[in-house]
Structures are given as C-alpha cells and as structure tokens.
Structure 1
Amino acid sequence: MITSPARTVRAPPHGRHGCGTAVPYRSEVRIAEREVTRKPRRDAELNRRRIVATARAAFAADGLDLPMREIARRAGLGIATVHRHFPARSDLVAAALAEHVAQCRADMRAALAEPDPWRALSGAVRGFAEHRVQDRGLNEALFGAHPAAAAFADDRWAQARALEELVARARRTGAVRPDVTVEDVRVCLAAIASYRSAHSATGLRRLVDLLLTGLSASVVR
C-alpha cells in the first residue's frame, strides 16, 4: 500500500477564515456583547432617573395624588415603562422621597459646616422654608402619616439632632437670645410647615424673616 506523504495544512491567519474574511477575535466578540448589554441598562437607568425627577417635581407641586399616567406623560415615557420601574405608586413615592431626603441631608451638612453659628442656624431655617415652598407635597408626606415616610424615621431623627447642635452653637457664641431653646426653633419650624396662603412663597419668606428676627441676639430691643 502506497501512502501519500503527509501534507502540512496551514491554518488561516489568526482571526481570519481561509478565504481571507476577517473574523472577530473572541475578546472583540465579548466586548461587543458587553456593549450591547450595557446600552439597554444605560437606557433603563436614564429612564428611571427621568421618572423619579419628574415625579419629584410633580409630587412637590401638585401633591401625591397625581395620576401615574400624568407623570409618564410629563416624563415623555409610556405608562408601561413607568410601571416596569415602579409597579406601585408607593414605590415611586418612596423613590421621590428618598431623593428629597437626600437633598435635606446635604443642606443640613452644609449648615453644620458653616463656621458662622448664626448663618448656620438661619440658613437651616431658611432652607427648611424653601423646601416648604418648592416641595410642598413631599414635605407633607414626609412629616405626615404617609406610609412611605416610615422608612425615613432615622433621617428625621438625625436632622433633629443636627438642629440641636446648630442651636447649641448659636447659644454658646451669643448669636441668639440667651433664652432661646431648641424647642423654640422647632416651634418656628412648625409654624413654617403649617403656613397656608395664596401667596405662599412671598408670605412664607416674610414669616421666616420675622421668626429669625425674634431669635437673633443682634436685634436692638
């Protein structure tokens, strides 16, 4: 039996078929697959952020009873997309409240970092009032009996402790009247929270000015 001499078969260059057509490297395929996967995830995250931002503004201005379909319309998305991210209204309310609370925490951190005790305390009070004007619906939910507010009890406690520190600093440095207590400041905040007026922004800021004047030690009496 006659056998043919063994032939050496050359493999096509790495990444190419024998016909010369380029074939993606495995690493390139994996990268492409990751990019395809990332895009829907990025889109979903952007949609979620848009929904929460829209809901926060809508709830703040119009209250928590605004229909989910209206929030979807304002966000420029379909109602199915909104429900995919937030199956229940309570889920969306909780997400909007979480962002609102995060902003309140940031405001209080800024107040605690302010070296001037009076500016720190008065800034915190004014910031509370601005949230009252701009985030009416969310504030009412946070400080009321809304079920979603229960998740933020620790945050409210931390804010209360921070307020005590601001008042204590202001008293130690003589920035407020010597008889001012943290309870007095809480009464001021309660007055701000309960304020009702057709001209809420202007009237509320006037009320804040009067309250701060009553707390300040620099007023000539």
Structure 2
Amino acid sequence: MPAEVTHLRSDAQDNRDKILEVAREVFATEGLDVSMREVARRAQVGPATLYRRFPTKEALVTQAFEEQMGACRDVVEEAVADPDPWRGFCTVIEKVFELHARDRGFTAAFMSAYPKALDFSKNRGEVLALIAGLAARARESGDLRPDFVVEDLVMVIMANGGIRAGSPAASVAASRRFAALAVEAFRAGGRAPLPPAVRLPLMPV
C-alpha cells in the first residue's frame, strides 16, 4: 500500500478518534444541546470532516456513548446473575445512577428516542427488559413493592440526571444519596440509614 494512502487513513482515524473524545467530554459536562459545529471547533476539525465521519448528530451521540451503554448493560447483567433478586435490583439502582451522574450526556442519550440508531435503541430495550425480569423476581421474593413498574425506574433515572452540584464528586455523592432514597421508596418494607447529605446549589426561581 502506498505510504500516502496509509498516512491518509491514519489521519482519518486520528480525526475520528479526536471527534469522539471531544464529543464524549462535551456531552458529558454540557449535555446534548452542544451543536455539531461546536464539537468540530473544539476537536479542531472542519465541519465537513465531522459530517463526513458522522452524518448526523444522532450518529455521533450513538458512537460517543457506545462504551457507556456497554458498561450499563454489564451492570444490569451482573445484577441479574445475583441469586438474591432484591440485592441485584439495588445494585442496578446504585451503579446505574452513579454511571449516569458521571455523564449528563449519557443520561440524555439513554432517555432519547433515536429510531435510526438501531443498535443503541436495541441495547436500551434489552437493558430495560432485563431490569423488568429482575424486578419481577424481586416482587415475587416480597422485597420489591408490588405496584412497581419499570417506568418508575426510568422516572427516577431522569430525576437523577437532573442533579446539579458544585463538582463531579459532589454530583456522584448526591446521586448515591438519591439512589438510597429510591431504594427505600421501592422497598416493600423496612428502613435503612441513608448516606450523608450533600449540599446542592439552589435552582434559580
């Protein structure tokens, strides 16, 4: 293969990797509202280069969060394998909440409808189906409240994504407390101490 072709392909891969790295960072800290042109600017590539690699924002978001989706699925599969369904259910809440707390963009992507992003949508559907099966087992064991539905978990994941704190560490700490609150709300009976409270900035009125 001619050296100039190899160099061209290497540059193209470098640009793709740079775009994805910047997109993950920007979406994680600022959410999905950041424009494609802004991603291109921060990645120091031209808009044409960005659109050549990722024709739509949907495609960019899907690729950017492929790793996070895999991590989310791993958490759920590990929890499903736990012989104690309630412990597994609690693991899902605690670990998934923390994963989302570390990455605002992933929360938005996970909750978004991307009909053309078949792999992403398929993975999300499979993850929710696994959680539904785990919840059914936890209800049968008498630990999970009988009126729980998967939409309840989706709702609290959305709420968890709205946590705003002074630093990433504070966001994670607040998310852990919220996870403990959610567990208590879903528990069929009993009480457990919550993690320490975290001061959150007041929302503007």
Given candidates 26, 32, 46, the residue that maps to 1:64 is: 32
Which fold has the larger relative contact order, with Cα–Cα distance below 8 Å and residues 6 or more apart in sequence? 2
**SS in structure 1 of the partner of residue 176 of structure 2:** helix
1:159 positional shift: 1.6
Structure 1 gap segments, 5+ residues each: 1-32
Q: 1:187 — aligned with what?
A: 152
Please say if residues 129 and 193 of structure 1, whose CA atoms lie closer than 8 Å, have aligned partners that are also in contact: no
- Residue 132 of structure 2 is aligned to residue 159 of structure 1: no
Q: Describe how 1:91-130 pairs up with structure 2 within 5 A.
A: 91-130=59-98
**Distance of aligned partners of 1:205 and 1:145 in 2 relative to their CA distance in 1, 3 Å threshold:** same
CA distance in 2, matches of 1:124, 1:198: 21
Which string of whole-angstrom CA distances, capped at 9 and with x for unpartnered residues, describes residues 89-119 of structure 1? 3432332244443332233223223444333
Q: Counterpart of 1:9? A: none
Distance 1:103 1:49, change over 3 A: farther
Alignment of 1:123-162 (within 5 A): 123-145=91-113, 152-162=120-130
Cα deviation for residue 125 of structure 1 reads 1.1
What runs of 5+ residues in structure 2 fail to find an aligned partner? 166-170, 193-205
**Residues 218 and 35 of structure 1: is their aligned pair in 2 closer, same or farther, counting only changes over 3 Å?**
farther
TM-score where L is the length of structure 1: 0.64
Return closer, same or farther for 1:103/1:54 CA change in 2, 3 Å cut-off.
farther
| Contact 2:30–2:105 (CA under 8 A) maintained in structure 1 | yes
Task: Identify the residue that residue 3 of structure 1 maps to in structure 2.
Answer: none
Contact 1:55 1:71 in 2 (8 A): yes
Paired residues in the alignment total: 185
Identity %: 33
Quote how far apart the aligned CAs of 1:190 are: 0.8
> How big is the shift at 1:173?
4.8
- The TM-score with structure 2 as length reference comes to 0.68
| Residues 152-205 of structure 1 deviation map (CA, whole Å, 9 limit, x = unaligned) | 43323212210122223334555x24x43541x541441231244443544332
Q: Is the 8 A contact 1:108 1:162 kept in 2?
A: yes
Which residue of 2 is the match for residue 12 of structure 1? none
Whether the aligned pair in 2 keeps the contact of 1:141 and 1:149 (CA below 8 Å) is no
Distance in 1 between the 2:55 and 2:185 partners?
Answer: 48
Q: Which has more radius of gyration?
A: 1
Instruction: Determine if contact 1:93/1:148 at 8 Å carries over to the other structure.
Output: no
More deviation in 79-88 or 201-210?
A: 79-88
Q: Which residue of 1 aligns with 2:168?
A: none
- Report the RMSD for the aligned CA atoms in angstroms: 3.4
